[in-house]
Amino acid sequence: MIVRCWLLILLSFALFAAAAPAAFIRGHAYVAVADWAAANGFHPLARSRGAFTWTNRSSRLTLEKDSHTAQINGVNVALAFPVALEKGTPFVAQLDLAKTIEPLMFTPRFAGKRIFTIVLDPGHGGKDAGNHVGYHAEKDYTLALAGALRAQLTNAGFNVLLTRSGDKYVELDARPDLANRRGADLFVSLHFNATEAGKSEVNGPETYCITPVGAASSNAQGEGANHGACLANRVENKSLLLAYLVQKSLVRTLGGPDRSVRRARFAVLRDATMPAILVESGYMTHPSEGRRIFDAGYRRLIASAIAHGIINYQQLTAVPMTSKPKPAASRSAARAKSGK
Ligand SMILES: [Zn+2]
């Protein structure tokens, strides 16, 4: 009996040591990043200009006080809650650790599935022109980009479907619906951005994926945190990884500022049952980025960046067919169990 008690005490100490201390900050559960990092084999680097960095042999996490963005292996990723500093120690929201940081820092092991069909969704169309800059309408450039991307993905061996192939109005919910009905493996919605304020300052790509339950979307100023789960939340970690790899490829290929992986409950993302992202490949309103977007050569470069991100995603998530075969006994047992 005494031995059992001691075992329990030792076990609870071990569990306590592995768990990072939590705190409630502005009503949300937060974790001391230093404790989380130590428990997961990361060590801190010297603090530089208000930024805290932890690293191990393969990964690096950088956080800044009050920032809604984490830098994960060099790519900006939006957080639901700002990084807090308590007595000089950075804290990050538990939800951000679980839903954003950990899924991207610890290479996920998804059940391998070959990507065959990709649905591309050229944003807007018909009576919905999207953003306008002078005589340039967003709907024309999303369609042109979709054509360039379709050519590259088809060359790479994918089966590519478009939600519209002409200047046609398509309801928002019909777009992921097509992907669901056709059994698509990925859904990629294509857009170009615009801003009213700071037209000559705001440029660079943004890539969106579904907002996790319990969080507000990145551009929602804290609204909508009580939104329930969408169909898309079932595969949210896969969508996050796809968004991350596409954003990384866009920033590396196009240069310019990294406006981060972001979260949104856009109608075209909510009901997709496969990994789904929405790519804003740049700002039409920016004097030089806008000019480039209107150029076919630059759009081919954007297309190659998105295609590269998709191929990287496929390589990270596909399980090679050469995986070790199961012993014969368990194979026949599995056959008997499944009735095949
Ligand atoms: Zn748009």
pLDDT tens figures, 76-110:
999 999 999 998 899 999 999 999 999 999 876 67
Which has more pLDDT, 222 or 161? 161
| pLDDT of 4 | 53
Ligand 1 mean position, distance from CA 131 (Å): 6
In the predicted model, is pLDDT for residue 210 greater than 80?
Answer: yes
Q: Alpha helices, DSSP H only, in the chain?
A: 2-18, 33-39, 94-96, 102-105, 138-155, 174-181, 236-254, 267-270, 287-293, 296-317, 328-338
Lowest mean pLDDT among 115-124, 214-223, 263-272, 275-284: 214-223
Lowest mean pLDDT among 96-100, 181-185, 225-229, 247-251: 225-229
Ligand 1 mean position, distance from CA 80 (Å): 23
In the chain, residues under CATH classification 3.40.630.40 are 117-317
Structure-token match 């030792």, residue found: 10
In what helix (H) or strand (E) does residue 222 lie, and over which residues does it extend? none
pLDDT tens figures, 257-309:
999 999 999 999 999 999 999 999 999 999 999 999 999 999 999 999 999 99
In the predicted model, is pLDDT for residue 152 greater than 80?
Answer: yes
CATH superfamily for domain 18-105? Copper amine oxidase-like, N-terminal domain (3.30.457.10)
Average pLDDT over residues 106-117: 79
| pLDDT of 320 | 53
Ligand 1 mean position, distance from CA 136 (Å): 13
Q: Return mean pLDDT, the chain.
A: 88
Ligand 1 mean position, distance from CA 202 (Å): 16
Ligand 1 mean position, distance from CA 113 (Å): 30
| pLDDT bucket at 211, cuts 50 / 70 / 90 | very high
| pLDDT of 309 | 98
Which has more pLDDT, 134 or 109? 134
| pLDDT of 248 | 98
In the predicted model, is pLDDT for residue 186 greater than 90?
Answer: yes
Give the distance between the most distant pair of CA atoms in the chain.
Answer: 82
Ligand 1 mean position, distance from CA 250 (Å): 17
Q: What is the DSSP string of 315-339?
A: HHHPPPTTSPPPPHHHHHHHHHHHT
81, amino acid identity: F
Average pLDDT over residues 316-340: 46
d(CA 201, CA 308) in angstroms, rounded, equals 27
| pLDDT of 328 | 39
Ligand 1 mean position, distance from CA 299 (Å): 16
In the predicted model, is pLDDT for residue 198 greater than 50?
Answer: yes
d(CA 238, CA 295) in angstroms, rounded, equals 32
Residue 98: DSSP 8-state: I
In the chain, residues under CATH classification 3.30.457.10 are 18-105
Ligand 1 mean position, distance from CA 123 (Å): 5
Ligand 1 mean position, distance from CA 280 (Å): 8
Class of CATH domain 117-317? alpha beta
Ligand 1 mean position, distance from CA 175 (Å): 14
Ligand 1 mean position, distance from CA 170 (Å): 13
